[in-house]
Structure 1
Amino acid sequence: MRATGTTTSTGASAGARTVRSRLPWAVIGLWIVVLAVSAVFAGKLNGAKHDDAVDYLPASAQSTQVAKIQKEMSGGSSTDLVLVYDRAGGLTAADRAAADRQTAALEKAYPLAGARPAAVASKDGRTLIVPVSVAESAGKPEDVVKAVRDRLATDRPAGLTIDVGGPGAAQGDAKEVFASIDGTLLLSTAGIVALLLILTYRSPFLWLVPLAVVGVAAGTAMALVYGMVQAFGLTVSDMSSSVMTVLIFGAGTDYALLLISRYRDELRRVPEPYEAMRAALRGVGPAVLTSAATVVAGLLCLLAADLNSSRGLGPVGAVGIVCALAAMTTLLPAVLVLLGRRVFWPLVPAYGSPSRAGRGVYRRIGTFVVGRPVAVLAASAVAVGALALGIGNLPGALHQDDTFTSTPESVAADHILHRAFPERSTQAITVVVPTDRAAAAKAAVSGTAGVAGAETGRSGGGWTEISAYPAAAPDTTGEKDTIERLRVTTTPDHGLVGGASAQRIDTASTSSRDSRLVIPLVLAAVFLLLAALLRSLVAPLLLTAAMVLVWAAALGIGGLIFGPILGFHGIDPGLPLLSFVFLVALGVDYGIFLMHRMREETRGGAGPKRSTMVALESTGGVIASAGIVLAATFTVLASLPLVMMVEMGLVIALGVLLDTFVVRTFLVPAATTLLGDRVWYPGRPGPAAPTPHEGAPAPAPVGAP
């Protein structure tokens, strides 16, 4: 009997060893298959992106309907260009002859839409413009613009400035900038994360493991997003794709920091790497899963948005977070187990050795906070609240000419146009009306206050196009008022008003509506998830209120630096909503790590002060490391040549740092100390469950460094 039992036990142990040796290889093999399949589709995502302003808008917007009607007209939609000839001393006969030759050459080289190009000279004789509408069949806007510029450069009289502007040129310049984003962003983000991991782990090898795993997660996410585009018609822009990349690297590295930190502590307690990893996953799993679920829930709230770019960002970002979570909780553990302790060289965590993690700084901070909670809470709240006052200094809506951090040719051309033709805008407002009402509609358009002139253009599909030239410059209050009046005056003739300026107005209006709807949804989703995890109503309320304050302060800092320091003349309409979603969803992660640990201490019998001190000491280091990594990855967006990306990257990065080193370190611990057990209302956490193995060492704290 005893021999049989021994045989059975030996067989079970052998079976367990077999599972331990094979499971990591099986997980890696599965990911190799996933990566091989993903590689086929990930590269196709670039071709599925949409970055035109009209693609961002809902189908109900007038400017969207106008763009759709234009596509159905003869020649389809067009690339609208303005050739701008300028000489400081006044145009010469040779300059005008060159303009005529070039215009004639373009008429032969490209199918044109609308009226034949006609030159218009400025009153001072210095500038000549030629509006040209190239039909859609000629090619993509960016290709057409580049080819036209190359043609004009070959026949340029000395001293004559020739620029290509207009909506089509602006679109082409934007496309060129977007085309360079993916590679720059990926390399910059990977470089920043690699540097921070090297500094964190001080190992020549360990940093490569999480970096490689997060790269696998990024490739998998790109393939899945491409599949969603094909299956569901999801709108993916370069902005949403860029944010997804940053999210994967930032959140994925945060998860890796938590897991590796706990795994390193477990290796000192457990002789087998496999068992140490199991213990590490059990320890950090609930916090990591809840934090990922919070981010995903917050992002999916964007599905309620009307703006296609915001609505598309929700599932795109959620896919990125899910892929990062999956890779960091399966592939990363498998690789680390196979590499064993030596991956930590030269700081190898030997079995039975004491922890080398230094927590002295956060121990002193914890003592200070619980010793003076009223002063700490008041000082931190006043400081963060004062920063939030900077919101009043935020610039207005971002104008088309201010979209780029540098000055592309289309913007330079617009500046010349504004100077040469101050009496009216050179950017037409497009009005489409039923053809049988075109005459009456043109009369109504011409008689509208603020319209300097109107011209009838193409017809097709039962519609006629009217170009209305406002007296006010583009992106001004005067132009906006003119567009609103045109929408009223053309209503009796069933007219629709669109064009580049109308698209920006519709975008701002839709963004405002989305903010009023999505922000409460995000707050509700985050609150409910926190309530479920912490089994409290007060603690989730405290964390969500703190994150709203952080968001306001981050925008306030933006108000202090965007205009006065960076020289930006406006903010993107979607910045408040998107920064709110990311700061609340991502920032609550750190609150989860802190409050979850505090709750565990309370369940163990610790009082409010003791639980706050231990939670701050235990999680402070890893939260600081994770916050720095996340902020650094979002700062990479500031290296891109688009003002909206710079603004978003800086606001989110500043908010994360503010949350990490002020709110999560001082404000929240001080508030929990003052609230005491009331923070767990309507109940107090019960006693902790007994340890599963009698005499086993107590596990390291959740998220301990």
Structure 2
Amino acid sequence: MINTPPPSRVRSRRASGSAAAPSRWLRIGLPVVLALVWLVVMGGGGSSFSQLSKVASNDQSQHLPASAEATQVRELQASFRDSDLVPAVLVFQRDGGLESADSDAIAETVASLADLDGVAADAISPVIPSEDGEAAEVFVPLDSSVKVSDTVELIRAQFAATDSSGALPAGLNAWVTGPAGLSADIVGAFSGIDGLLLLVALAAVFVILVAVYRSPLLPLIVLATSMFALIGAVSVVVALAKAELVLLSGQTQGILLILVVGAATDYSLLFVARYREALRDHERRWDAMWAALRGSFEPILASGGTVIAALMILLLSDLNSNRAMGPVAAIGIVFAMLAALTLLPVLMLAAGRVAFWPRRPAFGSAHPAQGAVEGAKGVWPAIARLVSRRPRAVWVTSVLLLAVASLGMLQLKADGVSQNEFVLGESQARDGQAVLGEHFPGGSGTPAVIVAPEAELDRVASTVLDARGVASVSVLSADSPSGSLRFTADGLQSVGAPGSPIPDPTVVEGDVMIEATLEDAGDSAEAEQVIRELRAGFAADGLHGEVLIGGTTAIALDSNDAAIHDRTLVIPLVLGAILVILMLLLRSVVAPVLLVGSVVLSYFAALGVSALVFNGVFGFAGADPSVPLFGFVFLVALGIDYNIFLMTRVREESLVHGAREGVLRGLTSTGGVITSAGLVLAATFAALGVLPVLFLAQISFIVAFGVLLDTFLVRSLLVPALAYDIGRRIWWPSRLGRLGHGGPAGEALVGSSTDRGIPSR
């Protein structure tokens, strides 16, 4: 680690004029070159923002690994059908029963859909009335080569137009639901991701920076750095997505925007704090900039490297969406670090002391956050005195508070939710699905798709038909007028005229395709249990690998199973990677173990409080299994950032002033900047809550609350008090841990009561 000499020494060297002035090329040429490079990045990547949503896919089936059974069935489906169709389900309903005029209006409305772009007109089903006579459904397959959400909007607009013209009688309600309707609602939920989300995040950061620095120029410089970093990251991600090297979803897109802005701002705040200190010690801006860069380079690099290591471990995930999050978010962190270490120093060099106007740091002025803690005024010296006087009471109380909050984890329901719960607020697809479930089997429009050998057709179809939770079974037949054959206890039946010959099922490479309509909604827990039981039954019959089950329910089931697998695999690996990085950075074993333990405990507390809020305040039905995983990756990796900022400064101060005094000085020196960084990061993640998406809303709360917990409790009280109580042994086995001190001031204290572990009073 590069040690910054005491301010008095720096000023004396500058005053004597012993420091050699850098060359003109270095002072002018290097900043100009760096500025030009970032201007090229800005110019080349500016157009990428408009393409970000276009290259994103929210199709859950694409997030599954190739080995998943549902993925294999999805690929086989293309062999049985001429085109890749996505079903939309039209639901019509009238309280008290459909009237004769309703039937004519429904038929006329459905006929008008044949002319819409994206509608597979020749595959539209007949109108199917419900048994209670109050509703009717129509299956309208949509061509996926045309953007499905656009086609759904055209259909919904058609309903609105016919309704206003009187084609739909008063009292007759209509919805577009099914996989296509849900896909359109998800796209609509993400529609504000490029504009509203970014605007809210930047506005929150700007307000916090103005409040912290009370300067009109500095917040603009920091935000400009964040925006340059974001544009660079987006341009690379869009290029990779176009080349199909990464899978970009709306969730990944939202997290990328927030993560880059938050991380770049945090790293910038650390450099700015060092630069403000250096301006008091150095008369020349160039010298101050280099001093700030030397002091911030290692912690920024270590902090960013820790987050990148944690994110890249996601590449070991089974779920494609989890795997894609790793490199996409890591690219964002890389650009955040590059901008903070190259662009920001250039901007601050150009602005100099003016950046801090009207509170410009004068050369030779005292450091308000440095010096002896006793007698100093301010919040952080007061906290440091509390830590020094009652260290054990402070850290024990902090641990107990976190442990109590962690008990809420017992209430966390993270085993998956219905796709209909994915969108918060208004969702026509969710409302339509509810009506569909009242009058038809819940799985209408989202059947389980089973691929089986032709020779096993009767055996497999009979097993499926007899299974609990299955309403009906059909077999795909291209020669049937309806496109399929109904399977009953008496065998295959055609829907054609009585006595007409029964067409043969469609056979592709010796396999047939069976569709089973389930009694429960296709993405419900009950439907998933039916699929589990069917798979287990076929495996017991010796048909494992020969009979494959896919469809909407199987996709949700396989996605949840893959997410749980990823959570179990990734979390221990992330912890191990962070621990190794901290050991290398701090040259210690004890300190990294304690730091990781404190952040993990903080994560458990954040998850516990979040579970209580989700259940008791927001009334969420549950959470995706990936929510705890991403909450862990971001909270632990980003929470360690603040401990890195703190402990690198503590180590630096300890080398000069001794272990315990170093803790107090490090706490007072970094208190303001780390608190500001925590507020910024919490605000940026909280901005995710403006999007009506369950996953993002939950991640938003978990990370924002967890960051605040890390900032105000773990980093401010728990870690400093624990480090102070342990004393020099926290740096074991490094030389600092053995001797306690590295500088003249410290050597004078070797063997004292402070060094032996007795708290100073």
What's the TM-score, normalizing by structure 2? 0.85
- Match for residue 700 of structure 1? none
Pick aligned residue for 1:510 from 540, 546, 562: 562
- For residue 532 of structure 1, give the secondary structure of its aligned residue in structure 2: helix
Relative to structure 1, the CA distance from residue 327 to residue 683 in structure 2 (aligned partners, 3 Å threshold; closer, same or farther) is closer
Output aligned runs, 1:375-454, within 5 Å. 375-396=393-414, 397-421=416-440, 427-434=446-453, 437-454=456-473
Distance in structure 1 (CA, Å) of the matches to 2:112 and 2:463: 36
Deviation at 1:158, TM superposition (A): 1.4
Among 555, 562, 571, the residue aligned to 2:607: 555
Kindly state the Cα deviation for residue 205 of structure 1 after the two structures are TM-superposed: 1.7
Q: Do 1:302 and 1:311's aligned partners in 2 also have CA atoms closer than 8 Å?
A: yes
Q: Which residue of 2 aligns with 1:23?
A: 30
CA–CA distance in 1 between the matches of 2:179 and 2:255? Answer: 26
Between 1:674-683 and 1:519-528, the stretch displaced more is: 674-683
* Partner residue, 2:534: 486
Q: By how many angstroms is 1:13 displaced?
A: 6.8
| Equivalent-residue separation in structure 2 for 1:460 and 1:275 (angstroms) | 77
Distance in 1 between residues matched to 2:658 and 2:177, nearest whole Å: 68
CA distance, structure 2, for counterparts of residue 273 and residue 394 of structure 1? 52
Q: Which residue of 1 aligns with 2:158?
A: 151
| Equivalent residues in 2 for 1:40-59, closer than 5 Å | 40-41=47-48, 43-59=50-66
SS in 2 for 1:682: coil
Cα–Cα, structure 1 residues 658 and 477, in superposed 2: closer, same or farther, change >3 Å? same
Residues in 1 aligned to 2:701 and 2:212: alpha-carbon distance in whole angstroms: 23
**Residue 52 of structure 2 aligns to which amino acid in structure 1?**
L
Q: Aligned letter for 1:582?
A: F
**Equivalent residues, number:** 679
Distance 1:216 1:460, change over 3 A: farther
SS in 2 for 1:565: helix
Rounded Cα–Cα distance in structure 2 between residues aligned with 1:47 and 1:359 = 54
Pairing 1:627–2:688 present: no
- How many Å apart are 1:56 and its aligned residue? 1.1
The change in CA–CA distance for 1:115 and 1:22 in structure 2 (over 3 A counts) is closer
1:175-234 deviation per Cα after TM superposition (whole angstroms, max 9, x unaligned): 222233222211111111111111122112221111112111101001111233345621
1:257-656 residue pairs with structure 2 within 5 A? Answer: 257-356=269-368, 360-396=378-414, 397-421=416-440, 427-434=446-453, 437-457=456-476, 459=506, 461-462=508-509, 463-490=511-538, 492=543, 494-608=546-660, 610-656=661-707
Inter-partner Cα distance in structure 1 for 2:564 and 2:21: 63
Structure 1 gap segments, 5+ residues each: 1-9, 692-705
Asked if residue 38 in structure 1 is aligned to residue 31 in structure 2, the reply is: no
Asked if 2 retains the 8 angstrom alpha-carbon contact of 1:600 and 1:688, the reply is: no
Counterparts of 2:229 and 2:441, CA distance in 1: 53
CA distance in 2 between counterparts of 1:115 and 1:482 reads 28
Q: 1:657 aligns with which of 708, 714, 721?
A: 708
SS of the residue corresponding to residue 57 of structure 2 reads coil
Q: Distance in 2 between matches of 1:678 and 1:265?
A: 30
Cα pair 2:192 2:691 within 8 Å, conserved: no
* Aligned: 1:229 with 2:257: no
Instruction: Report if the CA contact (8 A) 2:657-2:743 is conserved.
Output: no
Between 661-670 and 111-120, the greater mean CA deviation after superposition: 111-120
Q: Cα 1:69–1:689, aligned 2, differ >3 Å: closer, same or farther?
A: farther
Instruction: Give the fraction of aligned pairs with identical amino acids, expressed as a percent.
Output: 38
Q: Distance in 2 between matches of 1:603 and 1:395?
A: 47
Aligned counterpart for 2:132 among listed residues 109, 121, 124: 124
**Cα-Cα RMSD:** 2.4
**Residue of structure 2 in register with 1:169 after alignment:** 181
Distance 1:15 1:574 in 2: 52
Secondary structure at the aligned position of 1:79 is classed as strand
User: Compared with structure 1, are the counterparts of its residues 501 and 437 closer, same or farther at alpha carbon in structure 2 (3 Å cutoff)?
Assistant: same
Paired position in structure 2 for 1:133? 141
When residues 670 and 411 of structure 1 are mapped into structure 2, their CA distance, relative to the original with a 3 A threshold, is same
Is the CA contact 1:359–1:618 (under 8 Å) kept in the aligned structure 2? no
Cα distance, 1:587 vs. partner?
0.4
Summarize the Cα distance change of 1:480–1:20 in structure 2 as closer, same or farther, 3 Å threshold.
Answer: same
Aligned residue number for residue 697 of structure 1: none
SS in 1 for 2:654: helix
Query: How far apart, in 1, do the equivalents of 2:150 and 2:578 lie?
Result: 45
Question: Which has the higher mean CA deviation after the structures are superposed, 115-124 or 298-307?
Answer: 115-124
Whether the aligned pair in 2 keeps the contact of 1:114 and 1:133 (CA below 8 Å) is no
The one-letter code matched in structure 2 to 1:26 is V
TM-score (norm. length: structure 1): 0.91
Cα distance in 2 between the residues matched to 1:102 and 1:436: 42
Corresponding residue for 2:92?
85
2:526 maps to a residue whose letter is: G
Distance (whole Å) between structure 2 residues aligned to residue 118 and residue 383 of structure 1: 62
Unaligned stretches of 5+ residues in structure 2: 1-16, 370-375, 478-505, 746-761
Structure 2 CA distance for aligned equivalents of residues 341 and 67 of structure 1: 62
